[in-house]
Amino acid sequence: MARAGLTAERLTQAGAELADEVGFDQVTVSALARRFDVKVASLYSHVRNSQDLRTRIALLALEEMADRAADALAGRAGKDALTAFAGVYRDYAREHPGRYAAAQLRLDPETAAAGAGVRHSAMTRAILRGYDLTEPDQTHAVRMLSSVFHGYVSLELAGGFSHSAPDSQESWNRIMDALDALLRNWPTT
């Protein structure tokens, strides 16, 4: 019999909170059971195993970021849209480091296709249409933006920019300027 009040959604949310507190790599069904002061077996009617829990947290994080990005992009175009979109990722990672790490989890193709990652890609491509990029350049640009955003955010979260001046915000602003300039003058093949 399932413990009253425990649902897959509640466990996913609690797992996401745990990820933010202790790190995504530390999230397991056992750790979650301890959090609820229940036996591990009582969670298996809601989640199959730790990998299922981690996948659910990843999908939650992608959904949360997609919702924030959609709100941030409303009515924006060009550099303004690019900067707002990038800011969503950076802010989310700062507020929810464990969930941000979860969003990087490699998902199987079927799960990925049904998740909010598709929305992220569509929003990125919408921004790039404002720069008049067509295929295959859009795909190259999507990969570049993802790499720059994730790389910067990961280094910043790890404290990589805290040891020297100028402030990392100044560097972030310069990177947004450089990305905008590059996208406006995208090299043709």
- Closest to 54 measured CA to CA, from 83, 37, 29, 77: 29
pLDDT in tens, 25-45: 999 999 999 999 998 888 988
CB 57 within 8 A of CB 137: no
DSSP state at residue 42: G
pLDDT, one tens digit per residue, over 66-84 is 999 999 999 999 999 999 9
Q: Does residue 2 register a pLDDT over 50?
A: no
pTM of the entire structure? 0.92
Distance, CA of 178 to chain centre: 22
Tokens 């979109």 sit at which residue? 85
- Specify the 3-state DSSP secondary structure of 175: helix
Q: Count the residues in the chain.
A: 189
Write the single-letter amino acid at 72.
A
Nearest Cα residue to 130 out of 168, 83, 71:
83
pLDDT at 189: 66
Please answer whether residues 62 and 107 qualify as being in contact, where contact means their C-beta atoms are separated by less than 8 angstroms: no
DSSP string, 6-60: --HHHHHHHHHHHHHHH-GGG--HHHHHHHHTS-GGGGTTT-SSHHHHHHHHHHH
